[in-house]
Amino acid sequence: MRVDVMTLPRSLREMGPLAEQTQQSGFDGMLFTEGGRTAYPAVTAAALAAPGLEMSTGVAVAFPRSPMITAQVAWELQELTGGGFRLGLGTQVRTHIVRRYGVDFEHPGPRLRDYVRAVKACFAGFRGEPLDHHGEFYDLDFLNRQWSPGPIDVTDPPVDIAAVNPWMLRMAGEVADGVHVHPIGEPGYLARHVVPNVRLGAEGAGRSPDDVSIIVPVTTIVGDDDAEITGGRDAARLTLSFYGSTPNYAFIWDEAGFEGTTERIRAKQNAGDFAAMAAEITDDHLAVFCTEAGWDDL
């Protein structure tokens, strides 16, 4: 098991010192999200500052970038880190993809599956094999020596995907090297959905489930006094209410015994009351979806 630090958006100047601190604290690596700031430049800044620290995107948005561009960036980051980079990709949701990025979002699951295969075809092309990917959404068959980054002395970057529902989890087992579990994935969800569906997908593709890493974000509440714990709980409520407002994830709350959580959060969200959104996350929610401990016990 590896333990990484998931970063919040920061300037590139701040990423170097943060990477050094992460490495000195004994963590295995850093995981970079992509929201208001892009993930790949942050990985570059961190990797240059802390050689040997493993880096991963968790996750970068796939569809606004072509598979070739994503593959080239991942290839160079894998070279920079000496084989310590993992490419994590996700679909995002329709509103962001269509209205913010201005690209297609039809059939996101099958599209992401084809995207992963296309990226891996590019990796093979960089090593000198003919580029010949013809999928449902992407066709790639031109890569001459002038435009190829060429082979590198480390293995291909692992390609992970974010998945929530059973179909996506099975698809991760089928084509990906790892799966990023959603931040509101609690232990019961892992047991009911993640592990069995990843296994089904892997076995159906003739792969070993052990070859698919399961990457689980843990919302932590850490402190040695009441003030620290209270602050941690408040931050966790904000995080869970943000992620828990998406209708596609409502079943996770419901199956954990918190029926109607998404509907209540969305009602507050539609009213623009973010404090009330966070207030919908009770101590009972925190007990199931978070890990709370003192610093020494964590």
Residue of 194, 183, 162 lying closest to 281 (CA atoms): 183
Side chain identity at residue 293, one-letter code: A
- Domain identity same for 211 and 102: yes
Confidence of residue 266 (pLDDT cuts 50, 70, 90): very high
Long-range CB contact pairs, 132-139, < 8 A, 24+: 133/67, 136/107, 136/110, 136/111, 137/107, 137/110, 137/111, 138/66, 138/67, 138/114
| Alpha-carbon distance values, 158 to 67, 83, 119, 166, 212 (Å) | 14, 10, 11, 22, 10
CATH code for the domain in which residue 9 is found: 3.20.20.30
pLDDT at 270: 93
pLDDT at 89: 99
Does residue 298 belong to any structural domain of this protein? Answer: no
Give strand pairing partners of 180.
162, 215
pLDDT at 74: 99
For the segment 176-201, what is each residue's pLDDT rounded down to a tens digit? 999 999 999 999 999 999 999 999 99
Specify the pTM.
0.94
Does residue 211 belong to any structural domain of this protein? Answer: yes
Domain total for the chain?
Answer: 2
pLDDT at 197: 99
Among 182, 200, 220, the domain boundary falls at 220
For the segment 6-24, what is each residue's pLDDT rounded down to a tens digit? 998 899 999 999 999 999 9
